[in-house]
Structure 1
C-alpha cells in the first residue's frame, strides 16, 4: 500500500487524506532506510507526468546535496528523471526529505487551486422553487428564476455564495469562517443568522432583509449593520442605499409558504413577478390597467386563481395565446 501511495505521490494523484497519511508515516517511520528504499523504487518506476517546473526544482535540490565539488556543481547537473544509484542513496537522504515535502506541498496546493476553480450551481427555473443544504449545513430556499453558486472549496477558508434572484438563508453558525452572499455588486455578510435577499437580474432594485442575528450589507461605498426586522434597499437607477425599519417583514418571505404578498405594487409590477412564478408572459393591453395598485396576500395556487382575485377589485378578462396571457380591462 505504501509503495502505491508513493507512486501516486510522484504522479501527483494522491488525495488530501493520502498526503496526510504519507506525511505521518514519514514522521513516525522508525527506519528511514525503509522509507528511502521504497521512495527510490517508486521514483525509478514512475512516469514523466510530474510538471517540469516541479521536477527541475527538486533536481536542483538533489544536485546541491550530492557529494560533488563546487566546480561540478556549477557545470554539471543531474539530468531530468535521474536514476540515482542505491550506492550513493544515503548521501542524498536529506535531499529526498525535501523532495517528499515538495511533492506533498505541490499536491496539496495544486488540489486547492483546482477546487477553487470549480463551482457548484443550484437553480430554480421559472415556475419552480428549490431548497438546498450547503456543505456547512446552511439552509437556502430559492424562489422562482433564481440561481446560487458556490466554489468547491466552500468552507475551507471562507463561505462565499453568489446569488441571482431571490433566496432566504438560514446560516449555520461558524464565527471562524465568514459567510458572504454576493448579488449584483451588493455583499451581505453574516455569521449565524436568517435573512432574505431579493436581487433579480432585470430588476432596478435590491433588498436585503434581516429576520434574526446580524448582517453587514455593503454596496459601493455604503455600509450598513442590520438589526432584526430591518432592511436595506439599493436603487440601481439613482445608486441610493437606504436602511430602514421594515414593517412588512412578516410578508417578505411568504413565498416560501407558497403565498404572495403585495403592498401597493402596480399591476405592471405584479405581472413581472407572475412571469417568473408561472414561467409565462403577461401582456397588459390597457395602459390605465398597468397603474392599478394592490394590497394583500394571496395563495399562490395558479395564474387563473391570481387573476380571479384581481377581478374582485378590478374587472379584467384574459386570453391565452401560446405562452402569453393577454390581460385587459373588462368593458361594461
Structure 2
C-alpha cells in the first residue's frame, strides 16, 4: 500500500499539483523505503527531459512510447497502454485535464529501474542520477540494472553504492551484504566491487559476492567467466578464479613468523552443490528463493534467518547458539522453519511480533 501511495504522490509532485502536506508525506515515505530512491529519481529525470509534453495528447504519446520501450526491454509492467488508459481516465471531467500527468508517471514508475537511462528524447543528453545508492531491507530482495548494462540482484539487508559518473570512465561499486552480478563486457573499463576485506575485478562474467558486516566470512563465488580478487591488506597479491571456484576470506588470524602482523586467511574452494546431479549451487540458492545451510551453527543460521524473514532472533542460553543444522528453507514461514529445526534439536521459542527468543 505504501508503494502505491508513493507513486501517486510522486505523480502529483511531477504534475505540480502536490500540496505541502503531500510533499511532506512523500518525503516521509521515501525515508521509510530507501530502496525506492533510485526509481523515483529515474522517473523524475524522465519527466524533466520530456517537459515539453504539456497537453494530454502529447502525454499519452509519451506514455505510449515509454510503455513500448519497457515491453521491448522485457520489463514487467502488467497492463498494455490501452488497458492502463481505460483505468487512468475514469474520473470526473474537471479532474481529467491534469490526472493523466501523474497517473502516467505513477503507473510506469512502479516497475522502473533503468528507463531513465534508455528512454531519452533524441539529441538531449542524459542528466546524472542524483542518487547512487540502492538498499534492500531485511525480508526483501531487489534487482538493479546499472547504467553500463550490468545487472545486479541484491539479497536482503544489502547496500550497493556507486559514483554518479558510473559507466563514464569507471565501473567501481561498493557492496555491503550479498549480491549476484551479471556484468556487461567492457575491456576498457573493468568492473570492480569493493568490500570491507577484498576487491573483486572483472571484465564480464556472472558471480556472487557475500560481504555482510558482522560475519566472519567474505566470499566471491564464480559461476561463469573469470574474476580477480585481492585483499586490502595484501594489494600486491592477486588470485584468479575459474568457474565453479570461490575465494573465501575469514577473520581467523594467522601469526606469521618473526612478525606481529595478524592477517585474515584467504583460500580458494570449489562451489557447493546441495542437490546431486544438478547445478543447484549453495552460494546462489537465494536467487531461487531458497535458504540453504550445511552443518551451520544456530547463531550463524539465525543471522541469515533474520535477513530472510525480516525478524530479530535472540538466544536466552549461549549453549543453544552452538547447535548445528543442515537443511533447505523455501516456502516455509518463520514458524514452519523453526518447527522444522526443532525436529533435529531440542529447543523452544517464543514469538512477539517480529522478535523471536530461543530458549531451552
Instruction: Please state which band the TM-score falls in when normalised by the shorter chain.
Output: 0.5 to 0.7
Q: Secondary structure at the match of 2:281?
A: helix
- Which residue number corresponds to residue 213 of structure 2? 201
The two structures have a TM-score, normalised by structure 2, of: 0.56
What residue number does 1:212 align with?
224
- What does residue range 30-109 of structure 1 map to in structure 2 within 5 Å? none
- Where does residue 270 of structure 2 map in the other structure? 245
Residues 26-82 of structure 1 show CA distances to partners (whole Å, capped at 9, x for unaligned) of xxxxxxxxxxxxxxxxxxxxxxxxxxxxxxxxxxxxxxxxxxxxxxxxxxxxxxxxx
Q: After TM superposition, give the deviation of residue 178 of structure 1 in Å.
A: 0.7
Q: How does 1:162-201 map onto structure 2 within 5 Å? A: 162-201=174-213
Partner of 1:286: 317
CA distance in structure 2 between the partners assigned to 1:178 and 1:119 by the alignment: 22
Residue 115 of structure 1, CA deviation: 6.3
Corresponding position: 1:155 with 2:167? yes
Cα offset for 1:288?
3.1
Distance 1:311 1:244 in 2: 31
**Aligned residues between the structures:** 216
Of the three residues 152, 156, 181, the one matched with 1:140 is: 152
- Residue 316 (1) aligns with residue 354 (2): no
> Does the 8 Å CA contact 1:260/1:300 hold for their aligned counterparts?
no
Counterparts of 2:309 and 2:199 in 1: how far apart (Å)?
A: 29
> Do the aligned partners of 2:251 and 2:265 also contact (CA within 8 Å) in 1?
yes
Which residue does the alignment assign to 1:8? Answer: none
> For the residues of structure 2 that align with 1:202 and 1:302, how far apart are their CA atoms?
25
Deviation at 1:305, TM superposition (A): 1.9
1:180-239, Cα deviation, whole Å (9 max, x unpaired): 000114110111101111101111220111001000001022420000011111113421
Structure 2 runs not aligned, ≥5 long: 1-126, 254-263, 274-279
Task: Tell which deviates more after alignment, 236-245 or 152-161.
Answer: 236-245
| Distance (whole Å) between structure 2 residues aligned to residue 232 and residue 166 of structure 1 | 14
Alpha-carbon distance, 1:245 to partner: 2.2
Q: Is the 8 A contact 2:209 2:220 kept in 1?
A: yes
Q: How does 1:124-135 map to 2 (within 5 A)?
A: 124-135=136-147
Aligned to 2:241: 226
Q: Give how far 1:278 is off.
A: 2.2
1:242-295 deviation line (CA, Å, top 9, x unaligned): 112233471111111111111111111111111222222111223332221111
**Is the partner of 1:243 in helix, strand or coil?**
strand
Runs (5+) with no aligned partner, structure 1: 1-113
1: CA distance, partners of 2:134 / 2:318: 38
Where does residue 110 of structure 2 map in the other structure?
none
Q: Which range moves more in the overlay, 155-164 or 285-294?
A: 285-294
Tell me if the contact between 2:175 and 2:194 (Cα under 8 Å) persists in the aligned partners.
yes
Say which structure, 1 or 2, has more relative contact order (CA 8 Å, 6+ apart): 2
Match of 2:288 among 246, 254, 257: 257
Alpha carbons 1:300, 1:306 under 8 Å: kept: no
Stretches of 4+ aligned residues off by more than 3 angstroms: none
The CA distance in 2 between the partners of 1:288 and 1:247, in whole Å, is: 28
> Per the alignment, in what secondary structure is the counterpart of residue 167 of structure 1?
strand
Contact 2:272 2:283 in 1 (8 A): no
For residues 140 and 264 of structure 1, the distance between their equivalents in structure 2, rounded to whole angstroms, comes to 29
Structure of larger gyration radius: 1
Task: Report the Cα distance in structure 1 between the residues aligned to 2:337 and 2:205, rounded to whole angstroms.
Answer: 33
In structure 2, distance between residues paired with 1:180 and 1:288: 41
